[in-house]
Amino acid sequence: MPESITDSKPEKVVCGPGLRGILRHKQPNLYWIDSQQRRYVPSKGENVIGVVTAKSGDIFKVDIGGSEQASLSYLAFEGATKRNRPNVQVGDLVYSQLIVANKDMEPELVCIDSCGRANGLGVFGADGLLFKVSLGLVRRLLAPQSEIAKDLEKMFPFEMVVGMNGRVWVKAKTIQQTLIVANLLESCENMTAQQRQTLFRRVADGSI
């Protein structure tokens, strides 16, 4: 928040709903509040991790962590035709893009881009670990010059899928390593850059 507002009451400030975050500005005319909320509100164009919860006729119901389940057509996969259905089972993880998301309608997902290519979207995660983090941390992970991603990169080989809905899936060579990465990411939530780097160094040295 700008300092002028906090200055007026030096000791305690009452913040109403929607005002808990850092007001950010980007040239020329973009303003937004960067917060650490955990509730996901689907919005168009975002890539999210969903869990298939039901198969019904020609659509899948997918839980994306929003207020309502999203629908995903079986034709919205790469190479899918009416005769050639994609192999999707209940409980599978899908990395997909929201193409319909507004407050009045059921959100709708696709696993292809406008050219019909998957480009990494679709069913993934035969094993690995899925967990939830705050939406703020997700954005920090996906930022162009993300410090966290750079620090993680130095550890050991692993794979990660980050959904804008706060879900993160990681997989490393062993279960132990997978758990280490997951725990590190969760602990990144409330740490300064310095704290994080010392922690990462200790893990890399094998002292934890």
Partner 1 sequence: MGSDDLSRILMQCVREKCAELIFDQYPVITSSSIRELLRFQKYSESPIEMANDNAKLSKNLLRMKFMQRGLDADTKKQLEEEEKRIISDEHWYLDLPELKAKENFIIEESSFGPFEDLKYGRMSFKGFNPEVEKLMIAMNTAKEEEEEEEEEISRMETDITDEDMARRYESLVGSMKKRFAKKRERSALDKKEAVETKPKKAFLKPQD
Q: Please give the residue ranges that form the binding site for partner 1 (CB under 8 A).
A: 24, 26, 30, 32, 41, 43-47, 95, 101, 119-120, 124, 139, 142-144, 146, 149, 152-153, 155-164, 171-173
The phi, psi pair for 181, rounded to 5°, reads -60, -45
Q: Two tokens at 198?
A: 């010392």
Q: Which amino acid is at 31?
A: Y
CA distances in angstroms from 105 to 67, 68, 181, listed in the order given: 11, 9, 37
Helices 175-187 and 193-205 cross at an angle (nearest 10°) of 160
Q: How far is the CB of 139 from partner 1 (least distance, A)?
A: 6
C-beta of 47: minimal distance to partner 1 in Å? Answer: 5
Q: At its nearest, how many Å lie between partner 1 and the CB of residue 75?
A: 23
Beta bridge partners of residue 62, listed in sequence order: 52, 70
Tokens 């955990």 found at? 38
Residue for token digits 């696993």?
A: 111
Residue with Cβ nearer partner 1 (37 or 59): 37
Q: Which of 22, 58, 35 is nearest to 138 (CA)?
A: 35
How far apart CA 44 and CA 52 sit, in angstroms, is 19
For the CB of residue 93, give the shortest distance to partner 1 in the complex, in Å: 12
Q: Which is nearer to partner 1, 174 or 207 (CB)?
A: 174
> Residue 53 or 146: which CB sits closer to partner 1?
146
